[in-house]
Structure 1
Amino acid sequence: MRLRWQAFLDKVQERGDYGSSQEAERAARTVLALLGAHLVGDVRAALAARLPETFAVVLLNPLQATEPLSPERFVRATAAWIEGATERTAAWDVSAVLSVAADAAGEELTARILLQLPPGYDLLFGRPHRRRSAGTC
């Protein structure tokens, strides 16, 4: 089920402790545009189907990435796209947006998303250790 625009923004604003919905929207647009460059096929389409339509369009028309970014480089790229952001504030932005996206996606789809991303994104999605395979501690 597709999450409503205001519900999504309200959750991002709460988790990111933003002073306005405009700040939450700016973070969401940037993070989802970067994320869209890292997801492919039915996983990206399935996530888009659960996001508000405007954010689904952002996810499906991503910023270009020449290679998959590590979580650290993803945060740095976010900082570069958000005016006045630092790596610390960008990490906050990324976690706020991706944790809300993971809630919208549900556990099964989030697990599929994490399989398409380099190791370490589970923390950014607020799902530590979700990616572990059988036999690892």
Structure 2
Amino acid sequence: MTMRWDVFLDQVQERGEYPTRAEADRAARTVLALLGAHLVGDVRAELAARLPESFALILLNPLQATEPLSADRFVRATAAWIEGATEQTATWDVGAVLSVAADAAGEELTRRVLFQLPPGYDLLFGRPQDVAVPSAGRASRG
């Protein structure tokens, strides 16, 4: 189900502690434009289908990336696109937008999105992965 525009922006505004909806909208547009360049195929289309239409179009018509950015470089790129942003504020911006996008996507689709991204994005989506726990039944025998 598609998240409504006002609900999406209200959640971004609350999580990012933006004083105005316009600032939340600017952060959402920038982060989703950068994210769209890192996702392909069905995953990008399915995520777009769960976002409000104006944000879905941004995700589907992304800023071009010549290579997949690490999570740190993604934050730096966000800072470069948002006037007056620092890496610290950009981390906040990215986390606010991507955590709301993850809520809209649901757990299964969010896992598929994270699978397409370099390591480290799980924290930006507010979904830290516990990599220390081995999967059941896969113990190696030596």
Tell me the TM-score normalized by structure 2.
0.92
Q: Report the AA paired with residue 16 of structure 1.
A: G
1:119 aligns with 2:119: yes
Partner of 1:97: 97
Larger radius of gyration: 2
Q: Quick one: percent identity of the two aligned structures?
A: 78
Q: Deviations over 1:109-133 (max 9, x none)?
A: 0000000000000000000016x49
User: Partners of 2:52 and 2:32 in 1: how far apart?
Assistant: 12
Seen in structure 2, the aligned counterparts of structure 1 residues 68 and 133 have a Cα distance that, compared at 3 Å, is: farther
2:20 maps to 20
State the 1:135 CA deviation: 2.2
The aligned counterpart of 1:3 is 3
Partner residue in 2 for 1:107 = 107
Query: Which runs of 5 or more structure 1 residues have no equivalent in the other structure?
Result: none
The separation in 1 between residues aligned to 2:45 and 2:24, in whole angstroms, is: 23
Cα shift readout 1:16-63 (whole Å, capped 9, x = no counterpart): 000000000000000000000000000000000000000000000000
Task: Give the residue type in structure 1 aligned to 2:53.
Answer: E
Q: Does 1:43 align with 2:53?
A: no
- What residue is the counterpart of 1:88 in the other structure? 88
| Distance in 2 (alpha carbons) for counterparts of 1:71 and 1:41 | 21
Q: Give the letter aligned to residue 21 of structure 1.
A: R
Matched to 2:76, the amino acid is R
SS at 2:59 equivalent: helix
Which residue is equivalent to 1:52?
52
Distance 1:134 1:46, change over 3 A: farther
How high is the TM-score relative to the length of structure 1? 0.96
Q: Distance in 2 between matches of 1:49 and 1:13?
A: 21
Aligned residues: 135
Which position in structure 2 is the counterpart of 1:128?
128
Structure 2 unmatched ranges of 5 or more: 136-142
Distance, in Å, in 1 between the alignment partners of 2:117 and 2:63 is 16
Structure 1 stretches (4+) deviating beyond 6 angstroms?
none
- Aligned to 2:3, the other structure's residue is in SS state coil
What RMSD, in angstroms, separates the aligned Cα atoms of the two structures? 1.3
